[in-house]
Chain A
Amino acid sequence: MYTEQAVTDEHYKESVELCELLPWYVNRTLDDEQLRAVEQHLQHCKVCAEDLPVLRAVRESMHNEPVAVLLPKPDAEQFLADAGGREQRPRLRRTVWISFAAAASVAVMALTMTWFLTHDSEDPPTLYETATNAGGGTAFDYVLHIAFDADSDPQAHDEVLNALAPLSVGGPDSFGNYRVVIRLPARSVDELQNFTRDIESNSSVSSAAIVAVELPVESR
């Protein structure tokens, strides 16, 4: 097939440009001028003259290879189905999806910003919103622990307790403390602190604190 002497780079260095064109001479994609130049080159370049039948044999061998036997039948419908869209190009689908996702994100961000900028103190905090959503209710039963001054007027105690519109009142215990359950819309921690502070502002109350928050039974 080859002469060993010919297997050197020396031949490639000569007329290297024409040597390089040999594969395209074999696949017949050179223009007329190049074709003639390569043919002339072949008459004196031993390496190319030896390579020519080899490259032709390779070309023929490649086309003879029984890949066709292995060739699966093209299934464009399956390809389209696998690509995720039978009617639209994936790019369009993706664009629509991305646009939708972007619009939704912007909307969510806008709503969140609006809420932060405009909500007043009565809006439920995230903590209680979560609890409310989880329970499906809108109000909680707050358990208040109220202590009155021992020497305060018991009538004043009743006024304070009644003002709270309690669901239930327990007490007084041996220390004069009351356990009062009131139902309120969800409140933030700050709001609850203000709420208890208001109760404490009554001269007869020594302390007021919320000790438990429970979902109303009917909302659970």
Chain B
Amino acid sequence: MVSELGILEHSNQGEAARSLDVRDRRLLEGVVAGNRDSIIKLYNLYFPRLFSFLYRLSRDYCLTEELVNDVMLVVWQDAEKFRGSSKVSTWIFGIGYRQCLKRLSKRRLPQVDRQKAHEPHFDSCGIVELDDVLESALDELSPKHRMMIESVLYLGMTYREVAEIAGCPVNTAKTRVHNARKQLRAALVRMGYVHGASSDG
């Protein structure tokens, strides 16, 4: 059931992604040719996704606005540098990934208050909200690890695409995501979200 659904979705997703990439490539060609409408369309298409991705990484609204424009400026300036070996979206998010890492490395990240991070919000019924728990755990990851997780689970990138944006071999990308996953898991365990320890212990 899962498999059938998975394969079906995978197939449809692949086709949709290819179709979107064809559209993006045409727009990028337009940008190279100096077509103003092409960069406007590309900007409008990528703004929401880039903003969400970069905001999730930086947690800084103003910085994210700057970053999105910086990324699109690079796209505009260096459109002819796109080699075509990856999807346009991968190329653009790769630029965003590197720009964001560069900016974050120049300043201290907003420090996560670990005490607070371990105290997720409670709703009126006193039930821990899962999103808060997960968010707190994600906040404990290093920017690089967080980007790995975001790239895969939020942006839905393939491992080849993750390798492309991170500028590393595919196996390294897999290992990095794996390490990020382990850190996420460790953070959740530290936060006390462990069930059945005694029964399995």
| Given A1-B194, A30-B10, A71-B52, residue A76 in contact with residue B200 (CB < 8 A) | no
Interface string of A17-53 (1 = CB under 8 A from B): 1011111111111111001100100000000000100
* Alpha-carbon distance A132/B39, docked complex (angstroms): 53
| Given A31-B10, A87-B36, residue A71 in contact with residue B51 (CB < 8 A) | yes
A5 within 8 A of B: yes
Q: Would you call A36 and B3 a contact (CB within 8 A)?
A: yes
Q: Would you call A76 and B34 a contact (CB within 8 A)?
A: no
B177 within 8 A of A: yes
Interface string of A56-84 (1 = CB under 8 A from B): 01110111110110111010110110110
Looking at chain A's contact residues, the main secondary structure is: helix
Q: Would you call B153 and A27 a contact (CB within 8 A)?
A: yes
Q: Which of A89-97, A136-144, A153-161 contacts B (4 or more CB under 8 A)?
A: A89-97
Interfacial chain A residues near B52, Cβ < 8 Å: 67-68, 71
B88 within 8 A of A: no
B184 within 8 A of A: yes
| Given A27-B156, A71-B51, residue A89 in contact with residue B134 (CB < 8 A) | no
Q: Would you call B2 and A24 a contact (CB within 8 A)?
A: no
Interface string of B160-200 (1 = CB under 8 A from A): 00000000000000110110011011101100011111011
Smallest Cβ-Cβ distance to B55: which chain A residue: A67
Smallest Cβ-Cβ distance to A48: which chain B residue: B181
Q: Would you call B36 and A3 a contact (CB within 8 A)?
A: no
Smallest Cβ-Cβ distance to B137: which chain A residue: A58
Contact of B44 among A5, A32, A74, A86 (CB under 8 A): A74
Q: Would you call B196 and A79 a contact (CB within 8 A)?
A: no
Smallest Cβ-Cβ distance to B178: which chain A residue: A20
A190 within 8 A of B: no
Contact of A61 among B55, B130, B195 (CB under 8 A): B130
Q: Would you call B175 and A20 a contact (CB within 8 A)?
A: yes
Smallest CB separation, A61 vs chain B (Å):
5
* Alpha-carbon distance A36/B3, docked complex (angstroms): 7
Q: Would you call B134 and A61 a contact (CB within 8 A)?
A: yes
* Alpha-carbon distance A83/B73, docked complex (angstroms): 7
B201 within 8 A of A: yes
Smallest CB separation, B82 vs chain A (Å):
13
* Alpha-carbon distance A32/B153, docked complex (angstroms): 19
Q: Would you call A59 and B153 a contact (CB within 8 A)?
A: yes
Q: Would you call A7 and B10 a contact (CB within 8 A)?
A: no
Contact of B181 among A7, A22, A82 (CB under 8 A): A22
Smallest Cβ-Cβ distance to B191: which chain A residue: A1
* Alpha-carbon distance A174/B31, docked complex (angstroms): 87
Smallest CB separation, B135 vs chain A (Å):
7
| Given A24-B159, A90-B73, A90-B77, residue A80 in contact with residue B39 (CB < 8 A) | yes
Interfacial chain B residues near A80, Cβ < 8 Å: 36, 39-40
Interface centre among B10, B13, B149 (most CB of A within 10 A): B10
Interface hits, B105-151 → A, CB 8 Å? 130-131, 134-135, 138, 149-150
Contact of B152 among A1, A24, A68 (CB under 8 A): A24
Contact of A7 among B65, B189, B199 (CB under 8 A): B189
Q: Would you call A29 and B10 a contact (CB within 8 A)?
A: yes
| Given A28-B10, A29-B10, A29-B157, residue A5 in contact with residue B201 (CB < 8 A) | yes
Q: Would you call B39 and A32 a contact (CB within 8 A)?
A: no
| Given A4-B194, A24-B158, A68-B52, residue A76 in contact with residue B65 (CB < 8 A) | no
Contact of B178 among A7, A12, A90 (CB under 8 A): A12
Interfacial chain A residues near B197, Cβ < 8 Å: 3-5
| Given A28-B10, A39-B3, residue A89 in contact with residue B76 (CB < 8 A) | yes
Q: Would you call A76 and B2 a contact (CB within 8 A)?
A: no
The 3 nearest A-B residue pairs measured at CB: A74-B47, A4-B197, A76-B40
